[in-house]
Amino acid sequence: MNLTKQTKFIIAIGIQLIILFAIIIFKSSVLIGGTEVLLKIEPVDPRDILRGDYVELRYSNLSTIDLNLFKASPKDNDKAYTSLIKNGKYWEAVLVGQQKPKTGLFIQGVVSDIDSNSADMIYGIEEYFIPENTGINFDFNKGEPYVEVAINKNGSAVLKQLYVYDTPFEEYAKKYPPVSLQQKSRDARRISDTIQLQPALESYYDAHGYYPASLNLLAPEFIGSLPKDPIFGNDYIYAYYPANNPSRYHLGVILETRYEFLNEDSDCDSSIKDGCALSTDGPFANGFNGDDNGVCGVEGAQGFCYDIVP
């Protein structure tokens, strides 16, 4: 029987739809009848985690497994079953074998890479769809992220929900609108301003033997003009210790976006005694909380705190 091109096209589309519906039905059956577990997400480089509208996930004590936990030496592309044990809030690997366990909870995966001490595993739950542009304003290293996964009796897993700060990601992301190029540009300038201020502060210290009690004392001798916030025109946040002849300082700027530099800042709280892992007799003068979500202690402000302690 000769089929027309149109008929072949319709058949091809029909086959694809059947496969799609089969996948949906299978995943739905896992979600409905599977055992729900929580898996902790590993710290990641936020520059690598985002891939379009998906976030790529790796799991603590599950994505990379010590070879000592394997019943037999694994090979690339081996199908394997990872037995799970609950450790506090989260589940993690306790044993890996090629035979399906007869008891206990386990997840089915594939060995993807092996080195001298460990093997990477893929379970089919490594991608999570997120609304466009919402991931850029979130640091997956500091939101205590985890996922809820459903696992059926055969070890097949379906990713149900991504959580940050114990809140569904989609709900949390509503707090932050999509990031614009203008916001990114302004934040880049703010970071650049802190880079300019640091050598000026050190030059002041070299000249006086202590840091200034105000950023205004830097200009014009140690810096041509004092940089200001590109929107509000105010000085950047500055704390120092002690009050007389300061030997330390704490510098902060409020960013509009979760810039990748937030992974490299100090996250210092100079508003408390012994803050910033420093032994002090009291808090810094004008001390502030430099936690990323602390907006540098500025009441009523919105954004993220980037802070520096030399």
Enter the pTM of the model: 0.55
pLDDT grade for 173, boundaries at 50, 70 and 90: confident
First to last CA, the chain: 80
Tell me the per-residue pLDDT of 27-59, one tens digit each, with 9 for 90 and over. Answer: 554 445 578 899 998 865 444 444 446 778 899
> What pLDDT sits at residue 48?
42
Query: Which of 27-31, 112-116, 206-210, 227-231 bottoms out in mean pLDDT, i.e. has the lowest?
Result: 27-31
Domain ranges of the chain: 34-173, 181-308
pLDDT grade for 9, boundaries at 50, 70 and 90: low
> What pLDDT sits at residue 98?
92
Q: Distance between CA atoms of 103 and 86, rounded to whole angstroms? A: 15
Nearest to 90 by CA among 112, 61, 116, 113: 61
Q: Distance between CA atoms of 175 and 260, rounded to whole angstroms? A: 19
Q: Using the 8-state DSSP alphabet, how is residue 294 labeled? A: G
Query: Which of 191-195, 271-275, 288-292 bottoms out in mean pLDDT, i.e. has the lowest?
Result: 271-275
Tell me the per-residue pLDDT of 99-118, one tens digit each, with 9 for 90 and over. Answer: 999 999 999 999 998 998 99
Q: Distance between CA atoms of 216 and 255, rounded to whole angstroms? A: 21
Nearest to 297 by CA among 274, 267, 263, 273: 267
Q: Distance between CA atoms of 143 and 166, rounded to whole angstroms? A: 9
Tell me the per-residue pLDDT of 127-136, one tens digit each, with 9 for 90 and over. Answer: 887 766 555 5
Q: Distance between CA atoms of 205 and 301, rounded to whole angstroms? A: 31
Quick one: the chain helix, strand, coil %, rounded to 5? 30, 30, 45
> What pLDDT sits at residue 12?
62
Q: Distance between CA atoms of 150 and 166, rounded to whole angstroms? A: 18
Residue 278 half-sphere exposure toward CB, CA atoms < 13 A:
24
Tokens of 113: 């890479």
> What pLDDT sits at residue 50?
44
> What pLDDT sits at residue 255?
93
pLDDT grade for 276, boundaries at 50, 70 and 90: confident
pLDDT grade for 305, boundaries at 50, 70 and 90: very high
CA 62 to chain centre: 18
Give me the mean pLDDT over the 220-231 stretch.
94
Helix (H) or strand (E) segment spanning residue 219:
none
Read off the amino acid at residue 264: E
